[in-house]
Structure formats: structure tokens, C-alpha cells
A and B are shown apart, each in its own frame.
Chain A
């Protein structure tokens, strides 16, 4: 063992107090006490980057990584996939078939789109959902597949549906003293797929699209279509879903989806994003059908 080292400066983030949570109750009580100046630290793959830029300057960090009971993955008796909030993306992508369960391949395959391996080994499912990035793969999957979230606060548990959880850019229904405990995907989605486009592999997606088809006897009876990167949260596209329910082609479904009227920004024009939605929805439909 080497001697104790005393350090110099060389820091990027603003100062904060570091708290290591020993249990969920203690963590939520501490968050309640600290108020708005505290942030929950899970894998840190978004938060630490934001702190390095000083885009985030929390006065307190409550590190919940030690709450190992939140690192779990499995299919419940009801057939739903239950994911503990601290499960990493890498754990999901490498989960054995019997753990992830039949019909959740869309979730496993979506992991490859999340950053890169060294990000996925640290980043967590709950962290991604709580961060609420509008192009995040987990947020899109949750909206597509009607995921349910369980959060723990000082007053007990609260449950949310994905469609009532995301309020806008990086804004969710979670209170500052609540911690996500579990993410539940209630039913298998054997004919679902997610695809996206980024300027460089692993970057934040410009547009991400996911579909979940209802297939019966080899024919499409309907389905869900969700798009990320066109609004402050991932959105379902009822117009495109109506095309699927009415027996329309994937091309027509994609055309209808492109009417979500994405806003352009510095990175690209609205027209380009519309083109991406059209292309990606059709691609996702074909991939979902081929499963």
C-alpha cells in the first residue's frame, strides 16, 4: 500500500458535497432535506459530463450506486419485464435469453444505439429515464411500449405511466426527493424495432424512431409508432398508427409519421428531420416485421 497522497487542484466541476446512500429510505430522506440543490448520482454518464461543463452545478450529490437492490432484471409472473433502476445498459445488452425473456429483443437490440461500450458499462436505465433526454433510447422505448415507472420518495411509492412522466426537455414528473426504483415494460413486443440516425455512431440521435407492430397470422393488424428528436419528449404518432390499423403500407405509415412537423435547429432543417422520420419509420417497420 502506498502512502496517503494530498492533492492539488485540477478540477472541472463546481464544488459539491458527496453523500453515499446506504439505503433507499435514507437517500430519499436526505434528498428531502437537501432540497433543489441536490442531484441523484447513478452511473453519471450524463450528469458528470454536464458538471464538467458546469452546465449543472448541484451543491450536493447523493450517490445511489451502492443500492444494489436496484440492480436487477427479470420477467415477472405477469410476463412484464422488470428492470431495476441501477441496471446498466451493458447488463441489458448482455443479458441471457432466459433473463430478458422472449419478446423483448427490441430492448436488447436498442442498447447498441446508446453511446459506446464504455458509456453503457456505467450508464443506468433509471438514470437515462430520469434524465429525460428527448432522443434517449430508453425514453423512446418507454413511450412506445407503455412502460411504467416506480419512484420512491419520503412519502412512499408513486407509479407513473410513460405518457404522463416526460414533461419536456430534461424535465420529468419526478420530484427532487424521489428516486426511480423500477422500470416495467408490461408486455412482450415480439414485432418491435428501434432505429435512429446520428451524424456519428454513438452520438445523440438527430431522430430516433421505434415501432411495435401487432402481427396476427403474418399480417399487420395495427401497431404503435413513436418518434424521438422532433419534440421536447418522445411522442407517439396517432396518424401513423391509424394507417397501420387501417391496413396501410409501411411506406404510407412512414409518410404519415413524417407529418409530426419536426422543428429544425442549428444542426439541420425541419425538412431534413421530416425526411429522417419517413426513412427511419419505414426501416423500423420492416425490421419489426422481419422478427
Chain B
């Protein structure tokens, strides 16, 4: 048995779970997740760069794991928990989370176009590997492209955030909890 959603020029109804909120979207099947996030849900944090999986500006978390939102159709994201950069800051106060603050403190961005992708890459990575060392962080940031700041400061920001989180865990005084 198969569900057939719409004709080629037709639209389909999708239910997406983004940042803890359920959204219903009527869209063509050929729309990628990043396009639906940006144009339909107005979550413009995930950026559209290369649209073929090279640059990583569109990186979001799918069930907690970093993924390219340009290499998924929105329909493929049904049933998954999608997390975007908009989830990082405090929803009430707008205060940046610890990872975002580390990027600011370490000058890990210049034009900022790649930043949401790097933040979500690091967020997903550190959630899985909180003990990651500098070498592992270097390896992981190779996933995404930055064309102005260079990677050194991004590595420092992520490393600093990881260290702070570890220290807080060791002291049993968690500050800003990692999102998801």
C-alpha cells in the first residue's frame, strides 16, 4: 500500500515538527526542507548557499543529528523532529545560548552567512560527543564552508563552549542547557 500525494503540479499537506511546534504546510513535493523552513514557516535562520550539500549553510538537526536541509525534500522530514538555529536563544528573553555567546566572544563570524549552519553542526555534534577534543572539532567543522573568518576562531568557539559545558557538568551547575 502506498500513499500518493498529489499530482506533479499539485500540492501536498505536510505536518512538520520544528523547534517543538507542529506546523501544517501545503506545498509542492519538490520543495526542499530549507525552502519550506524559510519561505513557508519564515524561519530564515537556515541559509541557502550551494543547494547541493557542499556548503552546509542550511544545516539543521533532524532527530538531533546534523543534516543538510537542502538535500531533503520537506516531505521526507514528516515524522522527524526538526531543530533550527532559531531554537538556540531563549524564546522569552532572546538571550543567546552558550554556543552562540562563544561564537561572539571568539569572533567566530564575520559576515555571518555560514554561522547558523556552523551553530547547528556544532550543537548536534557536541550533544553526541560532549568530550570532543580540538582535533575532532577540526574534523567536524570541515563539513561546512566559511569564506571570511577562517576556521581557527570557529574551532576555538566550539572548543571553548565544549570545555565550559564539561566544567559545568563536573561542578553540577549547568548554566544554559544545550538545546535538544
Binding site for B on A (CB under 8 A): 1-8, 10-23, 26-27, 30, 41, 44-45, 48-49, 51-53, 59, 61-63, 65, 90, 115-119, 121-122, 201-202
Docked-complex contact B24 and A49, CB < 8 angstroms: no
Docked-complex contact A122 and B67, CB < 8 angstroms: yes
Supposing A23-B1, A48-B71, A202-B143 touch, asked if A17 and B8 sit within 8 A by C-beta, the answer is: yes
Supposing A17-B7, A53-B52, A118-B56 touch, asked if A4 and B26 sit within 8 A by C-beta, the answer is: yes
Chain B residue at minimum C-beta to C-beta distance from A14: B30
Chain B residue at minimum C-beta to C-beta distance from A50: B52
Contact with A along B23-58 (1 / 0, CB 8 A): 111111111100110111100000000011100100
User: Which residue from A4, A23, A44 sits with its C-beta under 8 Å from B72?
Assistant: A44
A-B contact pairs, 13 of them (CB 8 A): A1-B24, A11-B30, A18-B6, A19-B5, A22-B1, A22-B2, A41-B73, A44-B72, A48-B32, A121-B62, A122-B68, A202-B142, A202-B143
User: Which residue from A8, A17, A119, A201 sits with its C-beta under 8 Å from B39?
Assistant: A8
Assembly CA distance A65 to B63 (angstroms): 14
Contact with A along B1-17 (1 / 0, CB 8 A): 11111111111110000
Docked-complex contact A52 and B27, CB < 8 angstroms: no
| Interface Cβ pair total, 8 Å cutoff | 151
Q: Which residues of A lie under 8 Å from residue B21 when comparing CB positions?
A: 1-2
Assembly CA distance A258 to B32 (angstroms): 43
Chain B residue at minimum C-beta to C-beta distance from A63: B76
Docked-complex contact A26 and B39, CB < 8 angstroms: no
Docked-complex contact B35 and A10, CB < 8 angstroms: yes
Supposing A7-B40, A201-B142 touch, asked if A16 and B31 sit within 8 A by C-beta, the answer is: no
Docked-complex contact B26 and A6, CB < 8 angstroms: yes
Docked-complex contact A4 and B35, CB < 8 angstroms: no
> Nearest Cβ distance between residue A226 and chain B, in whole angstroms?
26
Docked-complex contact A122 and B72, CB < 8 angstroms: yes
Asked whether any CB of chain A lies closer than 8 Å to the CB of B100, the reply is no
Asked whether any CB of chain A lies closer than 8 Å to the CB of B119, the reply is no
> Nearest Cβ distance between residue A123 and chain B, in whole angstroms?
9
Docked-complex contact B76 and A41, CB < 8 angstroms: yes
Contact with A along B74-86 (1 / 0, CB 8 A): 0110000000000
Assembly CA distance A280 to B32 (angstroms): 38
> Nearest Cβ distance between residue A159 and chain B, in whole angstroms?
26
Q: Which residues of A lie under 8 Å from residue B27 when comparing CB positions?
A: 7
Supposing A10-B39, A45-B71 touch, asked if A117 and B3 sit within 8 A by C-beta, the answer is: no
> Nearest Cβ distance between residue B53 and chain A, in whole angstroms?
5
Asked whether any CB of chain A lies closer than 8 Å to the CB of B66, the reply is yes
Q: Which residues of B lie under 8 Å from residue A119 when comparing CB positions?
A: 53, 68, 71, 143
